[in-house]
Chain A
Amino acid sequence: MSITNLFGILISAMLINNIVLIYFLGLCAFFGVSTKMKTSLGMGFAVIFVMVMATAATWLIYHFVLVPLELTFLRTASFVLVIASLVQLVEIFLKKTSPGLYKALGIYLALITTNCAILAVAFLNIDYSYGLLEGVFYALGTGLGFTLAIILFAGIRERVALAPVPDSLKGFPIAFFIASLMSLAFLGFKGLLGL
């Protein structure tokens, strides 16, 4: 668990295996929120925040509750419930202690419960047999990758909204074409740092 190993996990999760552009996870939030830069930033930060905490929480639940009691088939149900209640708790906690941050995140905190990226990261964390610290770095890298992708995407979309797009391609179809070009660009990261 050296520092280079952790750094490698972070970079790999952020660029080479970008959660949105390579793994197709978190698409509903990605396309729904990215019409403006400001909302995208908010969503990105909320995702990083919840993803790291959810990964840590589900890792602990899996290794200290489900495995000893041999209830691993319950992992789907328990992970989803843990994430949903975590989001709820975080919302209440933030409202009391840091109203500024709560206001900045706004509605996106509640929308994250259905973000499939969070659940997927929790599952993949277990599948890759990461330890707790590696899992946290993996979640952090994934969240940063999501934020990077959504910010870039929002920037492009804001420009394209002013361009002469054919009527039948306006809105979602052209957004998908933009995403495909971005995905093509991110494919170029394969083999980075020998990972």
Chain B
Amino acid sequence: MNNHAQCFSDGIFKQNPVLVLMIGLCPLLAVSTSAINGLGMGLAASFVLICSNLVVSAVRKFIPEGIRIPIFIIIISTFVTIVDLVMNAYFPPLHKALGVFVPLIVVNCIILGRAEAFAYRNSVLDSLLDGLGMGLGFTLVITLIGAIRELFGNGTIFNSPRFIEKPALLMIFPPGGFITIGFLMGLYFLYTSYARSKAKK
């Protein structure tokens, strides 16, 4: 990557892991029942992504090609275990809300995918910026989905007092999650096709 800043900004918009690359969908829908949960998961996954990108990029010259995937898994699971234990100790309600999805960050396609596609082949600085960008992109989307679902499904936002009297409980349930991400993706595609047609003129 010639442009360092581009590594960072790509992850947020042009190559947003969720809306464009379509990876990391599992935790996205499952934990985004409220904005706080979404934010917590986004930050936890970003932390693991940044750390694993850093470590994989730092030792990439010493990792043999054939067994790189198991080694990535070991590196990633180390950081996931750290996050799991720290969250359990200092943020117990968040840990309980996220449940089994905290250890599942290990097989989050974003982290393994970026380690394989980017950190293994690029410098430490670029991998750090890529991790930051992708993590920020993921956190933004998951918090947005959490906020929408909490707003329409519970009438609150970030645990504020309720200001919608009769919320649509469906939004908190699984169908609501699917509908929200479907609309967000549709809006994103609409925007990118509009931007593309505008650029053509």
User: Which residues of A are in contact with B by a Cβ distance under 8 Å?
Assistant: 21-28, 31, 73-77, 80-81, 84-85, 113-116, 119-120, 123-124, 127, 166-170, 172-177, 179-181, 183-184, 187
Contact = CB atoms under 8 A, between A and B. Distances in A.
B174 to A, nearest CB: 4
Interface string B68-103: 011001100110110011000000000000001001
Given A24-B26, A27-B26, A27-B29, A80 B185 contact: no
Nearest to B23: A28
Nearest to B19: A172
Given A167-B193, A168-B189, A176-B181, A31 B174 contact: no
Given A23-B30, A167-B193, A173-B186, A31 B103 contact: no
A96 B77 CA distance: 32
A84 B190 CA distance: 39
B5 interface: no
Interface residues of B, number: 42
A151 to B, nearest CB: 18
B164 interface: no
Contacts of A177: 178-179, 182
A113 B189 CA distance: 30
Of B77, B81, B190, which is in contact with the most chain A CB atoms at under 10 Å from its CB?
B77
Given A73-B85, A120-B104, A22 B174 contact: yes
Nearest first, the 4 A-B pairs at minimum CB distance are A176-B182, A180-B178, A77-B77, A24-B30
B49 interface: no
Nearest to B84: A76
A176 B22 contact: no
A114 B112 CA distance: 9
Given A181-B175, A187-B175, A25 B26 contact: yes
A161 B173 CA distance: 27
B74 A77 contact: yes
Contacts of B74: 77, 81
Contacts of A21: 174
A118 to B, nearest CB: 8
Contacts of B181: 176
A24 B100 CA distance: 12
Interface in B149-164: none
A180 B104 contact: no
Contacts of A76: 77, 80-81, 84, 103, 106
Given A116-B104, A127-B100, A179-B178, A77 B81 contact: yes
